Each structure stands twice: as structure tokens, then as C-alpha cells.
Structure 1
Amino acid sequence: MGRPIDARGWTFEVRDEVATTEKWIPLGNLTSWSRNEGENEETAETTSFDSDGYYEQDIMQRGATIEVEGLYAQVSAGVPDPGQAYVDNEWAFRLGSASRGRLRWRHETQNVWVIWEATVTPGEQSGGTNEKTSWSATFTRCGKPTTAPVAPAGGGGS
């Protein structure tokens, strides 16, 4: 049996689609995340008289989402976390085919990124008297995921 891995060891980055060179921006101050590989799955029932009373189906469409939650953050007075700002101020306003961007994620123990072409839905921001302001976003995968090796430190690609 292997050792469980820490949830805090996951890194999520969005690709700056406006940059002239490849630039990935980390999503900062995350406190939780969840991945649902069954979201937007569609099936076709294939049960027939030949099924002898047992249900049958074929999966016709695969889908997935990643929801990240955290604390709305500023890296200095008036300067928001770059990843949160990119999602909120760049990606969230795109429509049609331009609404797609890229998200990549991996655990610190892994040497491969999983890359999704995705759309993003910003989440609610809230807070109470003795709380910090929340921040969240949901990324919905579009198409089949790809992978890429983690570049060595100083090797570019981020």
C-alpha cells in the first residue's frame, strides 16, 4: 500500500492566452479543491430483451470539472493575486469560442502536468464579520485532457 498524499500539495495554473510567449499563472491562496470526472457524462441506455432483466448502458460523452476555492488575495496593496485576477478580469469575460482557455494541474510529487482546455465559471465571493473574503472558480473540461512534462527549474514553460 502506498502513502496518502497531502491535498495541499496540488498546484493549479491557468495559461495566459494573451501573452506572446507561453506563460502559466498559479492560482494562489487556495484552501480546497475538488475534481469530478463524472460531471457532464452522458449515457445511452442499451437494455434490451437480451439483457435478461439487467440494466445496460454505453457512455456517449465524458466530462469533468475542477472547482477551486480559496481566499481572495492581494499580493500587495491594491494588487490582486495574479491567478485570481486573470480568471476574474480576463478569462471570465470571454464568450463563444474565445471562452476556452487552459488549466493545468499536478501534485508536487508528480513530474507530469495534466492539461485541460476548459471554460471557467467564477464563483461567489463572500465573507462575514470575522472572516476573510472567499474566492472560487469552476473549470469545465472541453475535449480530451493532455499531459506535459514538468519543466526543470529555470527551464521555461511557466
Structure 2
Amino acid sequence: MASVKIKARDMIVEVESSTPGTWLRIENLATLTINPGEGVERAVRTDFDSQGAYEEWIMQRGASMSLAGQEENDSATGLPKPGRAQVEANAGEDKLGEDSIARYRFRHPRHTEWKIWEATTVLGEKGGDTNAIGAWAATITKSGLTTTEDVA
């Protein structure tokens, strides 16, 4: 079987809308970075019996996804596209405690299942310089275990 490189720009990232089970594509992404090492906590096990070798256990695993793209709003209403609007709503200042959790899913078109995260959402910096299109960014941090769902 031949292997083929995966283009980052082909990744599909969706956010669950306020209607459970309804997913919205997050539009206008320019970068996507998944960090499977975010939130990892280690317990050092090294002691005198380790004979000078470092020893550890992983006590907690986490992950995050950084999204960035160009700011784009409807020319008539000034509102962002639906997927990005949902991400921004998920990061609202009133989203605290259990209300701070939202669902995201992602995959490459060749994958046969979605990876689904319950996650918190934090918006990043917006803006740009004189000749730039406005930037938009968000960080999605996984909360709990990853689940999967077959692609319909």
C-alpha cells in the first residue's frame, strides 16, 4: 500500500451548534495545530534505586487545538459565518463551569471516523498590521477522553 502525505488544509473541523447533533464547519481557517501533549502531568519516580536513570509515570493526558484564520463577516449584517460564530459563543464571558464545555470534531477526508472532543474554548488575539486582513484565533482544550464516531 502506498502512503500519501496529508495536507493540513484538507482537515475538517466542526463545532456542535446549540442544537445537539448538528455540526457547523469552522470557516476561513489558515492554520490548524493539534498538540496531543498539552496538559500532560508527570509523576517523577526516580529514587536511589533507579541507578541514575530517570523514571516517571504519566498521571494526566490532555490535548489542545489551535485554530487561526482571517476575520470575515457578512457584508450586510456584520456577523461572522455560523461555525466561527458558534466558536465565539462557546468562548463567551458567561461560559463558566459546566457551561464552558462544548463539543468539537475533526478528521481528514480520508479518515473513516471523526475524533470528538468535549472542550473549553478561549479566543486568541484579533487584528493585524496596516496591509493585513484581520486575524482571528481560538484555542480548543480537550476536557475528558476523546470519543469517535463513524463518518456518515
TM-score using structure 1 length: 0.89
CA offsets 1:85-129 (integer angstroms, 9 cap, x no match): 1111x2112111110010100011112100000000011101222
Could you say which residue in structure 1 is the equivalent of 2:21?
A: 22
Could you say which residue in structure 2 is the equivalent of 1:124?
A: 125
What percent of counterpart residues are identical? 43
Secondary structure class of the residue paired with 2:115: strand
Could you say which residue in structure 2 is the equivalent of 1:104?
A: 105
Q: Distance in 2 between matches of 1:42 and 1:36?
A: 14
Query: Against the structure 1 CA distance between its residues 108 and 75, is the aligned structure 2 distance closer, same or farther, given a 3 Å change threshold?
Result: farther
Secondary structure class of the residue paired with 1:127: coil
The alignment's C-alpha RMSD in Å is 1.3
Matches within 5 A, 1:8-157: 8-16=9-17, 18-19=18-19, 21-77=20-76, 78-88=78-88, 90-93=89-92, 94-151=95-152
CA offset at residue 75 of structure 1?
4.5
CA offsets 1:10-57 (integer angstroms, 9 cap, x no match): 0111111x22x5211111000011111111100000112221110000
Letter of the aligned partner of 1:134 in structure 2? A
Secondary structure class of the residue paired with 1:79: coil
Q: Distance in 1 between matches of 2:112 and 2:75?
A: 31
CA offset at residue 74 of structure 1?
2.3
Q: Distance in 1 between matches of 2:49 and 2:136?
A: 51
Q: Distance in 1 between matches of 2:28 and 2:125?
A: 16
Instruction: Write out the 4+ residue segments of structure 1 that deviate beyond 4 Å after TM superposition.
Output: none
CA offset at residue 79 of structure 1?
3.4
Could you say which residue in structure 2 is the equivalent of 1:156?
A: none
Deviates more, 1:75-84 or 1:94-103: 75-84
Secondary structure class of the residue paired with 2:91: helix
